[in-house]
Structure 1
Amino acid sequence: MLPWTDRFRTGQARGNETMPEDGRPALPDLAAIAGFAEPSAMAVAVLEGPARRLRYLNPAGLAAIGRDATALLGRPLAEALPALGPESHAILERVRRSGAPQRLAGLALPLGADPARRWDIELSALRGACGGIAGVLALLREAPAEQAARATLDALFRHIPEGLILAAAPDVRLTRVSEHALRLVGRDAAEVLGQAAALHPATWQVYHADGTTLARPEELPLTRAVQRGETARHETWVLRRRDGTPLPILCSAGPIREGDGPVQGGILCFRDVTDLHRTEAALATQEARYRALVEAGALAVWIAAPDGSLRDAARWSWLTGQSTSAAGGLGWLEAVHPQDRDRVAARWRDAIEAGAAFEAEYRIHTPQGWRWTAARAVPRRDAAGRILEWVGANTDIEARTLAQAALRASEERFRTLAEAMPHLVWQSDATGRPDYLNGRWRAVTGLGLAAVAEGGWLAALHPEDAAQRRPGWMAALAEGTDYDADARIRTAAGSYRWNRLRAAPVRDAEGRILHWVGTCTDVDARHQAEERLREALAAQDRLLREAEHRIRNSLQLVAALLRLQAARMPEAAAREALEAATARVQAVAEAHRALQRSPDLRSVRLSDMLRELAAGASVQHPGSDIRIAAPDSLALDAERAIPLALVLADLVAEAVRRRRPLGLGHPVWLEAAAEAGRLAVSVADGVIGLPEDSPAGRLDETVIRALARQIGAEIRRESRDGGGTRVTLHLALEQVAGGRDGPRV
Structure 2
Amino acid sequence: MDRCGAGGRPKRCAPLMVPEERIAARHEGPAASIRPENGRPGRRSAWIAMPTARAARSPTGDRTMPDDGRPALPDLDCIRHFAAVSPMAVAVLHGPSQRIGYANPTFLAAAGLTEAALLGRSLAEVFPDLPRRHRAILERVRRGGTARAEAVALPPGGDPPRLWDAEMSAMRGADGRPAGVLLLLHEVTAARAALRAAEAARATLDALFRHIPEGLILASAPDVRLTRVSDHALGLVGRAAAEVLDQEAALHPATWQVLQADGTTPARAEDLPLTRAVRQGETVQQETWVLRRRDGGLVPILCSAGPIRDEAGAVQGGILAFRDVTALRAAEDALALQESRYRALVEAGALAVWIATPAGALQDSASWTALTGQAPAEAGGMGWLKAIHPEDRERARAAWRDAILGGRPYEVEYRIRTPEGWRWTAARAVPRRDARGLILEWVGTNTDIEARRQAEHGLRASEARFRTLAEAMPHLVWQTDADGHVEYVNRRFRDLTGLDAGDIALEGWKAALHAEDRAALRPGWQRALAAGAEYDVDARIRTATGGTRWHRVRAAPVRDARGRIRHWVGTCTDTEERHQAQARLEEALAAQERLVREADHRIKNSLQLVAALLRLQSGRAGDSTTRAALEAATLRVQAVAEAHRALQRSPDLRSVRLSDMLRELAAGATVQHPGADLRTTAPDGLTLDAERAIPLALILSELVAEALRQEPGDGPGPVVRLDARVEDGRLTVSVADGAVGVSAASPAGLLGATVVRALVRQIGAELERGPAPDGGMQAVLRLGLEAS
Q: TM-score if structure 1 supplies the norm length?
A: 0.45
Q: Which entry has the higher C-alpha Rg, 1 or 2?
A: 2
Q: TM-score if structure 2 supplies the norm length?
A: 0.43
